[in-house]
Amino acid sequence: MLGSLRHKVIGQLLQRIRPSFSATRSYASSSSVKEMTVRDALNSALDEEMSADPKVFVMGEEVGEYQGAYKITKGLLDKYGPERVVDTPITEAGFTGIGVGAAYHGLRPVIEFMTFNFSLQAIDHIINSAAKSNYMSAGQISVPIVFRGPNGAAAGVGAQHSQCYAAWYASCPGLKVLAPYSSEDARGLLKAAIRDPDPVVFLENELLYGESFPIPAEALDSSFSLPIGKAKIEREGKDVTIVAYSKMVGYAIQAAEILSKEGISAEVTT
């Protein structure tokens, strides 16, 4: 009796939550679908936003001459020069503080951490200098800055390269935290993050950089972006909802396929 009541209450709560989810995007409805890696999706988003807004610049270790540790910034130094693609010393606290100061003055920095584990060196600037400024200034100061880089476990790396910081940063007031899965979402959300007036932590998964996903023609338009704060239904279902983010979305979809063979219709939402 108690168990059936609990399931009924959970079902009612899901019906209340579900309308706030964004509508499912269908690749099949697009007239043209291409394959794109997550790496290329991120690179194209940076390129287009830098082209559209001269206030956008990239700063971090090896983002310029080396084309980025993971080649996300490939080609940007040649196109925009060293004033907008800034190689830094190995000093996260230093270049993050410079980035926050630049954002105070109306620029739109994109700060790359070679791994988000190293963002701990700069966490005071991220939290106390960037995230809290809008609240503490009663909305008078906006800090349009993006902190991005690989996050979470990867392959063949040590513990100091493997921690996931999504829960850490998501618990801090004033920060928006994004962790995309597919190429379309990586591209659309990074463009939205750069345009946003508030600080955004953008968590990428190293293992997804080289993975290809279908991306519709409309998502390749330079004006394309995705709304921050709306969920996306990756797979429709009516019996249970599986919520995941970043690389785990792929595993959730696989789990839903297994459940379907047992007669369970599982929705996957990210």
List, in order of start, the domains of the chain with CATH numbers: 34-229 (3.40.50.970), 234-269 (no CATH)
Residue 216's nearest CA partner among 32, 24, 23 is: 32
Q: What residues contact residue 226 under an 8 Å CB cut-off, 6+ apart?
A: 184, 185, 188, 189, 191, 192
Question: Is the pLDDT reported for residue 221 higher than 60?
Answer: yes
Mean of the pLDDT values across residues 236-264?
96
- Shortest CA distance to 86 belongs to which of 60, 68, 108? 60
Please tell me the distance from the alpha carbon of residue 168 to that of residue 131, in angstroms, as a whole number: 13
Give the whole-angstrom CA distance, residue 23 versus residue 32: 20
Question: pLDDT tens digits for 135-157?
Answer: 889 888 999 999 999 999 888 88
Q: Token match 């696989």: residue?
A: 254
Identity at 206, one-letter amino acid code: E
Q: Is pLDDT of 103 > 90?
A: yes
Question: Taking residues 79-83, what's their average pLDDT?
Answer: 97
pLDDT tier at 170, thresholds 50, 70, 90: very high
Q: Write down the residue that tokens 């995941």 correspond to.
A: 244
Q: What radius of gyration, in Å, describes the C-alpha atoms of the chain?
A: 20
Reported as a pLDDT band with limits 50, 70 and 90, residue 220 is very high
Handedness of CA 85, 120, 129, 48 (dihedral sign): positive
Indicate which residues carry an active-site annotation: 92, 161
Task: Check if the beta carbon of residue 165 is closer than 8 Å to that of residue 151.
Answer: yes
Query: Taking residues 199-222, what's their average pLDDT?
Result: 96
Check pLDDT > 90 for residue 207.
yes
Residue labelled with tokens 């270790």: 61
Please give the model's pTM, rounded to 2 decimal places.
0.87
- The two three-digit tokens of residue 214, written as one number: 């279908």
Supply the pLDDT for residue 2. Answer: 41
Q: Rounded to whole angstroms, how far apart are CA atoms 206 and 193?
A: 19
Q: What share of the chain has pLDDT > 90, as a percent? A: 81
pLDDT greater than 90 at residue 13: no
| Contact (Cβ atoms closer than 8 angstroms) between residue 162 and residue 117 | yes
